[in-house]
Structure 1
C-alpha cells in the first residue's frame, strides 16, 4: 500500500513537471495583431529595418541591392529565417543568398535550410531558409556560438548578370523561433544582451548637464530598440531545474520503496514462535 501511494505521488509530480516543459518546447507566441509589418528594408547594418518575430516584413527593391533586416533572439531560442523573392516575368538565371549575423556582426552558420538557391530563367520566385543553432546564454570568448541580442538578416543576389541589374524585385522575410528550454541551458549568462549601441560623446555628456552645472546621467543611445516579449531573459531559471527536482524526488522515493521491500517485519526468522 505504501509503495503504491509512493508511486502515485511520483507520477503526479512527474505530470505536473511535464506541463511547463511542454509549454517551453512550443514555438514562441506570435506578436499582437496590431504589430506593424515593415514594408521597407535597410541597405546596411546601421540602417537595418527592425522586425518582430512572427511578423512578415516586405520590401520592394532592385536586383543587385543589399537588403537588411534585424530581429531579437533570446537565450534558448532556435531562430529560423525564411525569405521569398518574387522575380520579374523576364530574367536570366539568378542565385539568391540569405546571411544571418549576430550582434557582434559575426556571420552565423545555418544548421539546416536552403541558404542559397538558384532561380531558373523565367521562374516567378525563389524561397530561402536558414535555421540557426540554439542561442546560448553564455559562451567562451573564442567560440562563435549565437548569443542573445540583435540579429541581422542580409538578402541579396550573387553572381548577378549585367542584364538583370536593376530589375524590380519584391522580397518578404519572416522569423520564427522554437523555444528549446532547459536542454540548451548553460551555467552562465551575459550581463547584457548584444544590442548595438552608440557611444556617449563629450558633447552628449555636456548636454546631459543642468544649467546650474549639476551632472545628469546621459541617456543611452541604441541602434536597435526592439526586444523579445517580456524583455531579455535573466536566464537564471529554466525547466532543467524542474527536471532536476523531479529526479531527486524519484531517487528519494526509490530509496524509500527499496527499504520498505527489504526491511521485512522486523522479527528474526530463526526464532521459535512465542519468543
Structure 2
C-alpha cells in the first residue's frame, strides 16, 4: 500500500501518496477531473515494482489537499508551479511527469514553461495547447465541450457534481470503477470546499479564454508519449494527431486505444502500464 503524506509547496498544503524505493527515478502521476490520487491505483504498484519512486498528489482543491479560495488560485500557472515545487521539495531537480485529463493539461504546461524539470513526459487524453487551438473551434468539439460552458455558472455545477459526479466516471470497461471506488470518490467530493475548487479549474480556464498555457512558443523539449482512448466522449480523436505538432513536440510518440474511453488507464491498465514502464525506462515505443 502507498504511504500517505502531507507537504507544503508553493504556499499550498498538498496531500500525496508515495510508493517504491526512495532512491529510484521519480515519477509524478497527476490525476484529472473529477478524481484524486486514486485515479492511478492500477499504476502505482507496477511502477513501484519496476524500480521507480512513485509520487501521486491530490492536486490543489482535491480530496485532502488544501483548497485555496477564489477562481484565480486555479489558473494553470499556479497548478504547474505546485508540481515543480513538489519535485524540488522531494529532493529532485527533474522527474518523469505523467498526467491524465486536467493532470495532462498541467503536465503539458510544466513541460512548456519549466522544461528543466521534466525528464520524460506522458500525457493521457489531454491535448497539447496547439492541438486544442486547432480543433476547439470545430462545431463537433464545441458540442462535446458543453460541460465547460456549464461549469462557468455559479453554484449549479456544484449541485450537479454532488448528484451526478459518478456519471462522469464511465468507461468502456464495466469493471473500471468498483462500488468502493465510487464511495471513496463521493467522500472526496464531499470534502468542504472541494466541489467549488474542482470546478474552479474550468472557471479559471474560461477566464483565460479557453487557453491552457503557452502560445506559439509552446514547445516541449522532453521525450513525450501521448496515450489516447479514442472513445472519449469529451474530446475528438483528432486532438491526438501528430500532424502539425512537430514544431511543438519534436520528440513525440502517439499510441491510440481504439476501444478505450477517456479513462484509458482504467479501461486498459495492463497495456498502459507496460507502455509507461517501457517509455520511462528509455525503451522505444
TM-score by length of 2: 0.24
Larger helix proportion of the pair: 2
Flag the structure with more relative contact order, 1 or 2, with Cα contacts below 8 A and sequence separation at least 6: 1
Larger strand proportion of the pair: 1
